[in-house]
Amino acid sequence: MNIREFVRPNVFSLRAYSAKDIPCKVKLDANESPYSFSDAFKTVKSIKTNRYPDPEARGLRELIAREFRVKPENILQGNGSDELIYQLVTTFGGPVLYPVPTFLMYGIISQALGEKRIAIPLNEEFDLDSRNILMRIRREKPGLIFLSTPNNPTGNCFSTENILKIIEAGSSTSLVVVDEAYQPFASERGFIPFLNDYENLIIMRTLSKIGLAGLRVGFLIAREEIINEVNKVRLPFNLNSFSQAIAAEVIKKKTLLKGHIKSIISERGKLFKELLKIKGIRPYPSEANFILFRVNDPDMVYNNLLRRGVLVRNMKGIIDGCLRVTVGTPQENILFLKALKDS
């Protein structure tokens, strides 16, 4: 038996997402926070391991709703926002439109589910090519549009004006998902204030980039009618009891969370200035917790950094000639810069 003949063609042509665990001293490759909330485990005592988790994650959704001044009915919890992308494409279908380069999962999940993909290159400033996007919306009526702002891996926010034009152009054909994974690090306000103005707007958030990547907690914020439809394809116990309880504890630690974010933003500024000073390196301005930079020989620099214990992301095949470094603790950033200057 040849198993290949049994696999759907759209799945067969996929490649498994490689999230390799490369040993290193300083891990700056995956846009994680350098700060862990390991102590939050201690404060959570009441978890019954023999019982299923709360299928509606009521406690956590209430906390999140309060934080964003919406109702719990406007929140849907996911096992990371990756899972929510799956649920959105399953619920609404394609074609799925997104700019490139951007977060890879929009394309991978759309392909896995057999939906048509419309990938539209960003312009020279890494902003949305709104003319081209508006034309494709008119012609192909995408069911979903994914916009990551700040965008991964370029680090910039798309212009608000361009995003609003796209939301308006799609008002009768397309749901627009504004993926705000990096919004806590950005200087702009984000799109939650626009939720009341646009019926086709969905906001996606995650706790992964602010210290809880290991828990897998993401959520959608949208009007209740949208949440109710997506909720139909959500598996009943998608968010486990530990993640619900610990995420709730951490969300209550607002001062600590804000302190981490403030430090990362300030370190990002320092890192950017230092990168500018190094000959042969061109960093791109960032509103996220990472910096994309261009180097003459990215493979060599990547390997030299790794030999010195520093792991960054090689963007080969996504933005050729570039590496992406996550902002770490002050000490980690110093080690990275030293290794970069030496290499």
Ligand X SMILES: *Cc1c(COP(=O)(O)O)cnc(C)c1O
Sites of contact with ligand X (CB under 6 A): 31, 80-82, 103, 148, 152, 179, 181, 206, 208, 213, 218
Coil, strand or helix: which one is 161? helix
**What's the closest the beta carbon of residue 279 comes to ligand X, in angstroms?**
30
Return d(Cα 343, Cα 242) in angstroms, integer: 42
Return d(Cα 172, Cα 66) in angstroms, integer: 30
Q: For ligand X, which is the closer residue by CB, 31 or 200?
A: 31
**What's the closest the beta carbon of residue 60 comes to ligand X, in angstroms?**
14
Q: How far is CA 332 from the centre of its chain?
A: 22
Interior/surface letters 200-214, b for 16+ CB within 10 angstroms, e for the rest: bbbbbbbbbbbbbbe
Q: For ligand X, which is the closer residue by CB, 162 or 335?
A: 162
**What's the closest the beta carbon of residue 184 comes to ligand X, in angstroms?**
12
**What's the closest the beta carbon of residue 294 comes to ligand X, in angstroms?**
20
Q: For ligand X, which is the closer residue by CB, 57 or 335?
A: 57
Nearest residue to ligand X by CB is 80
**What's the closest the beta carbon of residue 107 comes to ligand X, in angstroms?**
12
**What's the closest the beta carbon of residue 276 comes to ligand X, in angstroms?**
24
Which phi and psi angles does 109 have, rounded to 5°?
-70, -40
How many CB atoms sit inside 10 A of residue 334's CB? 16
Q: Which two tokens stand for residue 87?
A: 């649920």
Q: For ligand X, which is the closer residue by CB, 87 or 333?
A: 87
The answer to whether 68 and 192 are in contact (CB under 8 A) is yes
Q: For ligand X, which is the closer residue by CB, 162 or 208?
A: 208
CA distances from 289 to 6, 29, 251, 280, 286 (A): 42, 11, 19, 23, 8
Q: For ligand X, which is the closer residue by CB, 62 or 82?
A: 82
Q: For ligand X, which is the closer residue by CB, 291 or 335?
A: 291
Q: For ligand X, which is the closer residue by CB, 103 or 126?
A: 103
**What's the closest the beta carbon of residue 53 comes to ligand X, in angstroms?**
17
DSSP assignment of 4-29 equals GGGS-HHHHT-----------SEE-S
In the block, tokens 């439809």 appear at: 229
Angle at 222 between CA 221 and CA 223, to 5 degrees: 145
**What's the closest the beta carbon of residue 341 comes to ligand X, in angstroms?**
28
Q: For ligand X, which is the closer residue by CB, 290 or 302?
A: 290
**What's the closest the beta carbon of residue 183 comes to ligand X, in angstroms?**
10
- Classify residue 183 by its DSSP letter: G
Give the H or E element holding residue 291.
strand 290-295
Interacting residues of 181 by C-beta distance below 8 A, sequence separation 6+? 81, 103, 148, 152, 204, 205, 206, 208, 209
